[in-house]
Amino acid sequence: MLTFLTRPYQLWIISLFCAVTAHGADSYGGIKGTLALPQSSKGLRIAVEKYTGKISGKVNPAPVPVAGVWLTRQGLRAQASPPPLRLSQKGYQFSKSLLIIPLNTTVFFPNEDPDYHNVFSLSRKNRFDLGRYQKGETPEPSRLFSKEGFIRLRCEIHEHMRATIIVVDSPYVATTNESGHFTFKNIPPGTYTLHAQFNKKVKYKTTVTVTSGNTTIIPTLAKS
């Protein structure tokens, strides 16, 4: 036997669902802030003539320098199997200057250029070399990052190509834009330590409290 709900009852169900959904959203908070990023050199010439036979396309400008930001507190850990991410090589540059990832994230490094590329790092805790590979190669070259740290990436073929990966034991990570602005959304209420890093030497750190339904604003933060 089918039972049909009257329109007033249907509207009541919808309003109840919306109220519960809104309450769930209000139980979290957010963070907005700005880092005082160092000024970086721009417009440096890439000596493409030394890559004869290794570059057959246009070399893009280097990606803009940014910083990685993450939150920590007692008992907070990265999830066991974070979703994989991609850091492509296109226009003879890495697609991003910096990628910040939770611990145990797999990163894929697709080659989107018509020539061979390579990805390697000599970072002490995350030393690896994916070898030379071409566009469309399968399986797609990747690396599981199971140790925390600051990792410098290079291409053995094109030495101007550089990028950084920061691996942290936290589920809450963000990247600034080139002006140093960053945003976190859907953060459970509580007090956290906010960390940020621009390069090996330039780091930031402060304490931030998140409250339900509010966005905490952090004034411009200078390096620690």
> What percent of the chain is predicted at pLDDT more than 90?
76
Q: pTM to 2 decimals?
A: 0.84
Average pLDDT value for residue range 150-156: 96
Q: Which CATH number is 109's domain given?
A: 2.60.40.420
pLDDT value at residue 17 = 42
pLDDT, greater one: 38 or 4: 38
> Domain for residue 128, yes or no?
yes
**Cβ(170)–Cβ(98) under 8 Å?**
no
pLDDT value at residue 3 = 43
One-character DSSP codes across 70-126:
EEE-TT----SSPPPEE--EETTEES-SEEEEETTEEEE--B-SSS-EEEEE--TTS
Condensed to tens digits (0 to 9), the pLDDT of residues 70-114 reads: 999 999 999 999 999 999 999 999 999 999 999 999 999 999 999
The total of structural domains in the chain comes to: 1
Question: Domain limits at 65?
Answer: 29-36+52-221
> Domain for residue 21, yes or no?
no
Condensed to tens digits (0 to 9), the pLDDT of residues 166-205 reads: 999 999 999 999 999 999 999 999 999 999 999 999 999 9
Condensed to tens digits (0 to 9), the pLDDT of residues 35-76 reads: 999 987 555 556 666 666 677 778 888 999 999 999 999 999
pLDDT value at residue 9 = 39
> Domain for residue 19, yes or no?
no
> Domain for residue 14, yes or no?
no
> Domain for residue 18, yes or no?
no
Mean pLDDT of the chain: 87
